Amino acid sequence: MTKLTSVAILIASIFSISTSQASEPIEVIKPAVITEPEKVELGKMLFFEPRLSMSGFISCNSCHNLSLGGVDALPTSIGHEWQEGPINSPTVLNAEYMLAQFWDGRAADLKEQAAGPIDNPKEMGYTHELAVGTIASMPGYVERFKAIYGSDEVNIDRITDAIAVFEKTLVTPNSPFDKYLEGDKKAITADAKAGYQLFKDKGCVSCHNGPAVGGTMYMKMGLVKPFHTDNPAVGRKGVTGKEADKFVFKVPTLRNIELTYPYFHDGSVWTLEEAVNTMADIQLGQKMTETETKQMVDFLKSLTGDQPQIMLPILPPSNENTPRPVPFK
């Protein structure tokens, strides 16, 4: 075989794989490309910083635990003074691929989302002013802000910008399914392949598509049959005020779905088997056989990728100028 022929075969192979990927409704998740490492490190520190809360105990990681697939594994999160949160905590993993943030899409991007919980009395229970004052009181933080942003000013815009830049790195590449899309047909099981075909044939891909296998659109929960829940969330209606948007939520990502239980906006379902059958029933008006359910679940488990490998940051110490935490009344 000539060298030219070998090159031609290689090019044809790459073209074939690219064409195959392009024809699929799900796209491969790529590893994060870090261009601002210092800002990423600052954002990581702030993500794990419990002093951004009134109690000095709750951080971003409390509800988006990076050891638990970016969630807290609770039906609804626990907030300031042990208050029950109103909705299930969505994963922070691959959140950059979402068209908006929060279940109701009220935040346009990760930066806007990061600001919300800090001054929510049911979540971190602080104010933006107090949060800024807390961070600005510690020289170890101020030095980093000056090096990254060009001045020692600490403000909520810079705090949330750094957190968002860190969160953008929290992607999960190299799942078995991604390897399958890239041409390794042995990367997933026969049942997972059958499950993926079912996923397409039954219409799941009409909502769950793209790199994150979701997050690209809004959809009513209970499209064909009502979804019965005691959860008070009304979805997009709370943002738009339109009755037509009642119970319309952002379609969640299915990446790492085996890790991000319990499921749905109310966190009412704990197993993938029940979640699959519920969605088939209320969204598609279809019944799944036991075999189909197993195949679909096997496919969904193949979407679990490499989890972010995080070294916990060492945070600057408080001092006499740092506001004291108030964990109890």
Token pair belonging to 313:
């940051």
Q: Using an 8 Å Cβ cutoff, are 94 and 171 in contact? A: yes
Across the strands, what pairs with 148? none
Closest by CA position to 292, among listed 208, 196, 211: 196
Q: What is the dihedral of CA 116, 119, 121, 125, to 10 degrees?
A: 120
- Cα separation of 143 and 30, whole Å? 33
Across the strands, what pairs with 219? 249
Q: Tell me whether the omega of the peptide bond preceding residue 37 falls within 30 degrees of 0, making it cis.
A: no
Across the strands, what pairs with 107? 101
Catalytic residues: 123
Token pair belonging to 169:
């790195």
Q: Using an 8 Å Cβ cutoff, are 302 and 184 in contact? A: no
Q: Please give the angle made by the CA atoms of 231, 236 and 238, to the nearest 5 degrees.
A: 70
